[in-house]
Structure 1
Amino acid sequence: MIVDSHVHVIAEDASRYPSILRSRDENAWYSTHPVTAEELLALMDDGGVAWTILVQPIQVYGSDNSYLADSCAAYPDRLRGVAVVDVGEPAAMRADLHRSIREQGLAGIRVNLATGAETIDPRCHPLLESAAESDVPVLVRVTPEQLPQLPALIKRFPGVAFVLDHCGFVDFRDGPDGRGAAPLFEVGAHDNLYVKVSTMNLYGVADDPGTLLKELGRCFGTDRLVWGSDYPHTCDRGYAGLVDYAREAARALPGEGAEDYLGRTAAKLWCPSPGSPAGS
């Protein structure tokens, strides 16, 4: 079963689902290759993808998760959602998390800590406490400069399943053992840490992307890696091509590592009862 853990959907109805964009970049992915939930379902069928985890596109909708939530509600057997909750006042964060999880039925939250500061904002702590109480995974977006602080955050909240977004955006051009990748590998394995290795990360390796997956598997455990296409932000191969590219790279993982990376681990995190939908 393949589960894509990172796709962004864009609504056709801009009146019902308004963007936060002050000016629209006609060359940006959301203008050139937008995909609706219905269009995504057809692409999933073509690519053999059972489930997709929709991730709120921050730059387009900010923390208004309406379209993401409505898409998941319309297609609950194929789509799960990860909502964005802004870091700020504790009561407001808890209310936003409660609304996303309890009222909108979403499967997790995304916390954007990569806001220009080199330190992790401690104001996120009440939100993480609420995530632990609600037993939902937290997709955490940090910069390479913030990665050295991540282990302390992970240890402070052992009840939270952290999923590191896009490998912490480290530079893999010199390979897994290069200086650019060091901040990620220095984080090390933790019982409550998962690492999302998306297409942009696989593309970032000068040589075989399978080598990167093998090294990440050795460091964090192959059952702690999840794949995300990053479609349509990444769209150069078309959706089915991105799925095939991930399948090929995953061949390098030993044992059942490919099955874990391509879907099984993501299903455990976000799809508690995945069943056997079309494409499995």
Structure 2
Amino acid sequence: MDIVDAHCHIISEDQTRYPKAPIGGKQSEWAATRPVNAEGMVSRMDEAGIAQAVLVQATTNYGYDNSYVLDSSRQWPERFVAVGTVDPLRPDAADSLKAAAGDEGLAGVRLFTSGSTVPTQGEWFVAPETFPFWERAGELGLPVCLQMRLGAATGQLVELLERFPGVKVLLDHIGYPDIADSPARAGAEVARLGVHPGLHLKLTHRNLEKLRDAGSRADDFLGPVVEAFGAGRIAWGSNLPAAEQSLPELRALAEDVLSELPEQDRREIFAGTARRLYPGLVRA
């Protein structure tokens, strides 16, 4: 099967050329203890039978300095595209985004509003100061990965999607829905967002592990979510090396959990969606 990893991270050993500058000043535990460089990612992809990958900026290691994902995507254009991080609150954010997306530039951008090193969910991503950024992303057709947690900030996400319906937004880790507590309730929460055509879901180990543990109840989540969004708006990403498992194990986890879906749906989730979002992923 054609497989694209829509969410993985790389970190260089060369801290002189690529210095650490994590958002919030705190490096994530995985970045410090199990980094994988670009060469290592290529090797792991070959081992797992994965054709191409989206290099998502390791925000908790490099902050807004996108040099390493850009240099790596330029070195291996047949294997990678780069998704970088910008500060949408800056007055020059829209112009910076246009410049960064130039020839051999960023294929997408990521906003990191919550995570292991940012436990408090930020709601600044829909502040009026960010509107020029969102407008420019729509003009450029540049997908925006949004790392956030559903819940208190869901209203801001809906406001964003209604204000900028032309922007393709990818919800990293599907916004961390509480599948463990109730797959059905989590599925309904996510499915309600399917009415927004610009919203896409990024399915990773953070969701898949909970679905595996849910056993037969996994379809209480997957059923309504796939019906609401369609497989064509869902993309699989490994989250390596933030995920502790090997890449073959992460692929196997996804294939196991999604095994009951129709083959065409699985083809979309494992490659089709990512290829439409990132046209630079030209299939060899």
- Please report the TM-score for the alignment, with normalisation by the length of structure 2: 0.88
Residue identity in the other structure for 2:107: A
2:169 is aligned with 1:162: yes
Partner residue of 2:239? 230
CA distance in 2, matches of 1:72, 1:85: 18
8 Å contact 2:191–2:228 — kept in the other structure?
Answer: yes
Q: Which amino acid aligns with 1:231?
A: L
Contact 2:9 2:239 in 1 (8 A): yes
Q: Does the CA-based 8 Å contact 1:247-1:262 persist in structure 2?
A: no
Matched, 1:65 2:66: yes
Quote how far apart the aligned CAs of 1:118 are.
Answer: 4.9
Distance 1:117 1:106 in 2: 24
**Alignment CA distance shift 1:82-1:68 (3 Å):** same
Alignment match, 1:56:
57
Taking a change above 3 Å as real, the CA distance of residues 184 and 89 of structure 1, as seen in their structure-2 partners, is same
**Map of 1:116 onto structure 2:** 121
- Please say which of residues 203-212 and 166-175 is displaced more in the overlay: 203-212
Superposed CA deviations along residues 6-61 of structure 1, whole A, max 9, x for unmatched, are 00000010111000255767xx2112211010111011111111110010011110
Q: Deviations over 1:104-140 (max 9, x none)?
A: 5120111234463457532322111011111111111
Alpha-carbon distance in structure 2 between the residues aligned to 1:80 and 1:185: 29
1:148 paired residue number = 155
Q: Where does residue 270 of structure 1 map in the other structure?
A: 278
**AA of the residue aligned to 2:132:** P
1:200-239 equivalent positions in 2, closer than 5 A? 200-205=206-211, 206-208=213-215, 211=219, 212-236=221-245, 238-239=246-247
Partners of 2:197 and 2:36 in 1: how far apart?
A: 35
**Shift in Å, 1:100:** 2.0
* SS of alignment partner, residue 187 of structure 1: helix
Aligned to 2:117: none
Please name the residue that 1:42 is paired with.
43
Deviations 1:169-211 (A, max 9, x none): 2211123313x55542332332221111111111123313852
| Matching residue of 1:254 | 262
Task: Verify: 1:197 aligned to 2:203, yes or no.
Answer: yes
Equivalent residue in structure 2 for 1:186, among 192, 217, 224: 192
Distance in 1 between the 2:206 and 2:281 partners?
Answer: 29
Relative distance call for 1:96 and 1:234 in structure 2 (3 A) is same
3-state SS of 1:170 partner:
coil
Cα pair 2:148 2:175 within 8 Å, conserved:
yes
Identity %: 33
Paired residues of 2:10 and 2:35 also in contact (CA < 8 A):
yes
Letter in 1 for 2:110: R
Residue 218 of structure 1, CA deviation: 1.5
Amino acid at match of 1:109: V
* TM-score, scaled to structure 1: 0.89
Q: Partners in 2 of 1:175 and 1:5 — Cα distance?
A: 26
Q: Which amino acid aligns with 1:187?
A: L
CA contact (8 A) 2:205 2:238 kept: yes
User: What's the CA shift for 1:248?
Assistant: 1.8
Farther-moved stretch of structure 1 (226-235 vs 187-196): 187-196
Question: Which runs of 5 or more residues in structure 2 are unaligned?
Answer: 115-119
Residues in 2 aligned to 1:152 and 1:117: alpha-carbon distance in whole angstroms:
15
Question: Partners of 1:107 and 1:118 in 2: how far apart?
Answer: 24
AA matched with 1:217:
V
Q: Does 1:129 align with 2:135?
A: yes
CA distance in 2, matches of 1:128, 1:100: 15
- Across the two proteins, how many residue pairs are aligned to each other? 271
